[in-house]
A and B are shown apart, each in its own frame.
Chain A
Amino acid sequence: MEEKVLIKRLRSGDEKAFRFLVDKYKNLIFNTSLPIIQNSEEADDLTQEVFIQIYKSIYGFKEKSSLSTWIYKITLTKCFEYLRYKRRKKRFAQIINLFREDGTSIDVPDFNHPGIILEKKEDAKLLFEAIDNLNNEQKSAYILKNIEGLTYNKISKIMNKSTSSIESLIFRAKKNLKKYIEKKLNNKK
């Protein structure tokens, strides 16, 4: 279905059009949010939230960018909103841990991306831990380039930055990732 036709039908409340949209973009949104959220259940939940936002905002979509660019933007916004909420919850949990009688703490499990082959799982776990430590901009640029496989041009439209800014963000992200990985590997020794 052509994009303009799809948008028109979505605005008219056509359920079949919305179903088409969901089927077309659900895995795109899920795969973008998964390395950011680092939890399959929560990423699934967030994917639903993104579609709810699309449903509510489709009338406000000005068609200055493509539908996929707009959807990526909503996905990234929702992911970082969710991470802020998760951080607040974690701070509260840390306070609760102080009062636990058995002295145990609620630990966050390591993230295993379902798309990584078995031999690379351990290394990938460390990499995702390092990605989690990047700031939002570096994280977005790195994930969109190296996991989603998007071009610099597409990423620059999604993030509203120039391609040179995106290149710079990815360069700094890689530098920070290397630093973090080196530190962790040295600590293990």
Chain B
Amino acid sequence: MKNKIQKVLESIDGIKKANVKPFFYGRFVSKLKNSQNPEIIYNKYEKVFLITLISFVIIVNIFFVFNYNDNSNENILSSDLEEVYFKSNKNDIINFISNEE
């Protein structure tokens, strides 16, 4: 086993240097020009921007959904109160008058 391990460790002995693919300088110059393009800023931050935008839309939607639910509850409550108030109002007026007399 030790021999095998040593053999594996020695497998890179005499390793030859690899070369880059042909026309490296041309490809590099092209990449350099692209990196200096102002649009790259958008490309770099596109994902971050989209995630932020979608998160914002979702949060706003959740906010309005909860707000709408709260308002609807209030509406039901106030209409109940209105009903109760108007129902009792007539009797109260009559009673009041009768008491005075």
Q: Which residue numbers of A lie inside 8 Å of B, CB to CB?
A: 19, 22-23, 26-27, 30-31, 34, 40, 44, 47-49, 51-52, 55, 113-117, 120, 123-124, 126-127, 130, 146-147, 174, 177-178, 181-182, 185
Instruction: Given A48-B27, A52-B31, decide whether A146 and B20 contact each other with a Cβ distance below 8 A.
Output: no
Q: Which residue numbers of B lie inside 8 Å of A, CB to CB?
A: 1, 4-5, 7-9, 11-12, 14-21, 24-25, 27-28, 31-32, 35
**Shortest Cβ gap from A134 to chain B (Å):** 13
Cβ contacts under 8 Å, B19 to chain A: 27, 30
Given contacts A113-B12, A117-B14, A178-B5, 16 further A-B contacts (CB under 8 A): A27-B17, A31-B17, A40-B18, A40-B21, A44-B20, A44-B24, A48-B31, A52-B35, A113-B18, A120-B12, A124-B8, A124-B12, A130-B8, A146-B12, A177-B9, A185-B4
**Shortest Cβ gap from B66 to chain A (Å):** 30
Cβ contacts under 8 Å, A49 to chain B: 31
Main secondary structure, interface of B, reads helix
Asked if B28 and A51 sit within 8 Å, CB to CB, the answer is yes
* Distance between Cα atoms of A147 and B31 in the complex (Å): 28
Instruction: Given A124-B12, A185-B5, decide whether A48 and B28 contact each other with a Cβ distance below 8 A.
Output: yes
* Distance between Cα atoms of A26 and B22 in the complex (Å): 11
Cβ contacts under 8 Å, B5 to chain A: 178, 181-182, 185
Asked if B1 and A182 sit within 8 Å, CB to CB, the answer is yes
* Distance between Cα atoms of A83 and B32 in the complex (Å): 22
Task: Considering the complex, give the chain A residue whose CB is closest to the CB of B24.
Answer: A26
Asked if B18 and A115 sit within 8 Å, CB to CB, the answer is yes
Asked if A178 and B12 sit within 8 Å, CB to CB, the answer is no
Instruction: Given A22-B24, A51-B28, decide whether A115 and B16 contact each other with a Cβ distance below 8 A.
Output: yes
Instruction: Given A23-B25, A27-B19, A47-B20, decide whether A55 and B32 contact each other with a Cβ distance below 8 A.
Output: yes
Cβ contacts under 8 Å, A177 to chain B: 9
**Shortest Cβ gap from A135 to chain B (Å):** 18
Cross-interface CB contact of B17 among A44, A115, A126, A185, cutoff 8 Å: A115
